[in-house]
Amino acid sequence: MEVVDYCMRKITWLIQTPRDVFRTQTTFHKSGQDIVRELDTASRADELRRQWLELEFRVSVQCVTILRYICERVHLLSLNLLSRVLDKHDALLSFVALLENPPWTYKAPDNTWKKFDHQKWTQVAPCDLLQITTTEAQPWIALYFLVCSKAARDQYQLTSFRKNQVLRVRKYLNDVMLDQLPLLADVQRFLDELAIVQLNPNAVSAAAKLVMEVVPVIRTALVREYRAQYTQLGVAYLDACASINRQDDMKTLADVYNMDGLDDLLDSGGGATSFSTDQNQPNQMPPAKRSPLSVNLVISNHDHHHMQKIIALDDSNCDSVEQSVICDVVLSSETVVDTTDGKYFRYALQRRREVDSTMLQDHEPHQQDVDSVVVATHAHVHATVAFDDNQMPPIHLANPDVNLPVDMISNNQKSTAKPVVWRQVGVLDLGQGVVQMQLKLLDTNRYEVGSVFLSIPATPAAAVPS
């Protein structure tokens, strides 16, 4: 019940807020120059209000989705909760208002259209204006469950006013809409039947089915307790913000990435993201002090989703599927990093050569340029860490799917720097060590290997069962 009330408060705010407020007091529909000019001249109060408006809008749109899921399970709701959704809040008419005046569409002065989907505004081509986005579909789906489910129709008491309001969405149900959401055919049939039904204009929802109803207590208790303490709470919040120490956050970041690759990361403008697999590594870490010697990276550029070769490494006509990249461990770059999983030794890796397994002739490896190591978007990476002691078994690490993004190039066409992402080979939680790879975008579906680092625990892990 608290969730329903919260969602309805946000939806009500979304309906009653004028659309010009989002256009003039937020940065949703402003150019970069206008945003910079506004940030330079805005006061702190204006900046806080702008952030509040943008955050409130995003949360309110998400609340539409949450309430849609609740309406989808209307047949499972208790009687008091069903009455609160349909009678107290009249969620059906709220969805009708959102369909008539959707806040997630915007027409610019130059007659271009934008739609809010996946928490961002995107420009829509004229030919795609009738294509329903995920956000636009939410109130339609909620409307379907509220007018077509037996539990809701038995509970909802139609009046002349409610009938006229619900019939306002009838004009939007065309063939294009039905092709995209076939379930709306039942809504159209219900509205056709409703149009010919004669309702008693004096019928009101006085015949309530509940004499006693459950009311929310959490928000009411909080408001009652802290209503007279808003000023004190604000002062306490300011004091807490002034004492925030970012050292803990920076230390957490340093656990994974040290300063060795920071320059490349900043130059390329990309973000360092960590990717851990859930695959168990059947290896046993030796108990003695270990000095890593080299790391052999085997990059299989099979697209396991489409089962086709998608990259070419050189000018030959043969598409390379698998590459073996041998990296020497630079022992002089050893740094000790304290992490939440214990102490780790971190080393920079220097590539020695790359061997293309599909280019082997007479058992001689094909030497390649060290800068031509190309990684596909769904490549498999296997790393073997060798030590200077031959009695010490190697460590085997794997990442079955690097899952690289394919849409970064469209957002960086005007930038000369190459966008980068980071991927991790191995599982940090297993205590065996990890290899961290910097991958720079080449084109829509190919990356090249940049900086590579090795991190192994100072305290060897116990044997991992195979």
Kindly write down the DSSP assignment for every residue of 304-335, as one continuous string: TTT-SB----SSSSSPP-EEEEEEEEEEEEEE
DSSP, residue by residue, 155-179: H----HHHHHHHGGGGGG--HHHHH
pLDDT band at 337 (very low <50, low <70, confident <90, very high): confident
Residue with the larger pLDDT of the pair 341 and 393: 393
Helices and strands (H, E) in the chain, number of each type: 15, 12
The C-alpha atoms of residue 296 and residue 329 are separated, in whole angstroms, by 11
Residue with the larger pLDDT of the pair 450 and 271: 450
The C-alpha atoms of residue 12 and residue 16 are separated, in whole angstroms, by 6
- Please answer whether residues 349 and 330 qualify as being in contact, where contact means their C-beta atoms are separated by less than 8 angstroms: yes
Residue with the larger pLDDT of the pair 275 and 416: 416
Which contiguous run of DSSP H or E holds residue 92? helix 91-100
pLDDT for the residue numbered 18: 93
pLDDT band at 353 (very low <50, low <70, confident <90, very high): low
Q: Is the pLDDT of residue 56 over 90?
A: yes
Segment among 242-246, 274-278, 406-410, 412-416 with least mean pLDDT: 274-278
pLDDT for the residue numbered 388: 81
pLDDT for the residue numbered 460: 65
pLDDT band at 73 (very low <50, low <70, confident <90, very high): very high
The proportion of the chain whose per-residue pLDDT surpasses 70, expressed as a percent, equals: 75
Beta bridge partners of 347: 454
Q: For the chain, what are the domain ranges?
A: 2-195, 253-457
CB atoms inside a 10 Å sphere around CB 412: 15
- Please answer whether residues 424 and 255 qualify as being in contact, where contact means their C-beta atoms are separated by less than 8 angstroms: no
Decide: residue 406, CB within 10 A, 0-12 exposed, 13-18 middle, 19+ buried. Answer: middle
Q: Is the pLDDT of residue 338 over 70?
A: yes
Beta bridge partners of 353: 326
Q: Is the pLDDT of residue 110 over 50?
A: yes
Let me know how long the chain is.
466
Which among 40-54, 231-245, 296-310, 442-456 has the top mean pLDDT? 40-54
- Radius of gyration from C-alpha coordinates of the chain: 30
Q: Is the pLDDT of residue 70 over 50?
A: yes
pLDDT for the residue numbered 355: 47
The C-alpha atoms of residue 236 and residue 271 are separated, in whole angstroms, by 34
Q: Is the pLDDT of residue 213 over 50?
A: yes
Average pLDDT over residues 388-416: 73
Alpha helices in 196-331 (DSSP H): 218-226, 230-242, 247-256, 262-268
Beta bridge partners of 295: 327, 385
pLDDT band at 55 (very low <50, low <70, confident <90, very high): very high
Closest CA to 190 of 138, 141, 142, 153: 153
In the structure encoding, which two tokens stand for residue 340, read together?
């939440």
pLDDT for the residue numbered 354: 47
Closest CA to 379 of 282, 452, 446, 313: 446
Decide: residue 200, CB within 10 A, 0-12 exposed, 13-18 middle, 19+ buried. Answer: exposed
The C-alpha atoms of residue 42 and residue 325 are separated, in whole angstroms, by 53
Which among 186-190, 355-359, 442-446 has the top mean pLDDT? 186-190
Tens digits of per-residue pLDDT, 363-378? 444 444 455 688 888 8
pLDDT for the residue numbered 198: 84
Q: Is the pLDDT of residue 101 over 90?
A: yes
The proportion of the chain whose per-residue pLDDT surpasses 90, expressed as a percent, equals: 39
Tens digits of per-residue pLDDT, 232-254? 998 998 888 877 766 666 666 66
Residue with the larger pLDDT of the pair 428 and 262: 428
Q: What is the DSSP letter of 424?
A: E
SS3 percent helix, strand, coil of the chain, rounded to 5, is 40, 20, 35
- The whole-chain average pLDDT of the chain stands at 80
pLDDT band at 276 (very low <50, low <70, confident <90, very high): very low
The C-alpha atoms of residue 202 and residue 204 are separated, in whole angstroms, by 6
pLDDT for the residue numbered 163: 93
Average pLDDT over residues 108-120: 92
Closest CA to 456 of 398, 385, 356: 385
- Please answer whether residues 396 and 358 qualify as being in contact, where contact means their C-beta atoms are separated by less than 8 angstroms: no
Beta bridge partners of 106: 114
pLDDT for the residue numbered 465: 41
Decide: residue 150, CB within 10 A, 0-12 exposed, 13-18 middle, 19+ buried. Answer: exposed
If you search the block for the tokens 């065309």, which residue do you land on?
174
pLDDT for the residue numbered 415: 52
